[in-house]
Amino acid sequence: MFETFYPILFLVLFATFLAFMLVAFSIILGRRTSLGKKFQAYECGITPEGSTKDPVPIKFFQVAILFLLFDIEVIFLYPWAIVSRQLGWFGFIEMLVFIVILLVGYFYVLGRGALKWD
């Protein structure tokens, strides 16, 4: 009965073993450096200004959420484009309604100034 699960069990055990071996090799063979700059907040070579605990403006989060919202909605256009001939006029009108709702939301966000970067 459980013979069908043996390949899955083997795969899980092999992946776990491989992960532990890669971590062990990186600990054993890896170079250890203790430079002062390694423990700074940013390692890009630019001296950080202020503290890392400074609040981030809400504008970053707002633009990110709006991007995700409109990006995920546009993803729905791809399946429709594949089967648009099979759906006929009903699918075409339904997608036009969807695009109009999407554009209304976009122009609302644009009118509110949510995408203006001051």
The CA–CA distances, whole Å, from 65 to 20, 78, 99, 101, 118 equal 37, 21, 19, 18, 18
pTM of the model: 0.50
Do residues 91 and 80 make contact, with C-beta atoms less than 8 angstroms apart? yes
The rounded distance, in Å, linking the Cα atoms of 65 and 44 is: 27
Determine the structural domain holding residue 80 and report its residue range.
2-112
Q: Is residue 56 part of a domain?
A: yes
Q: Is residue 14 part of a domain?
A: yes
Do residues 69 and 101 make contact, with C-beta atoms less than 8 angstroms apart? no
pLDDT bracket for residue 59 (50, 70, 90): confident
The total number of structural domains that make up the chain: 1
Residue 108: give its domain's CATH number.
1.20.58
Share of the chain above pLDDT 90, in %: 32
Provide the pLDDT for residue 12. Answer: 96
Q: Is residue 89 part of a domain?
A: yes
Q: Is residue 106 part of a domain?
A: yes
Lowest mean pLDDT among 8-17, 28-37, 104-113: 28-37
Average pLDDT over residues 63-77: 86
Q: Is residue 36 part of a domain?
A: yes
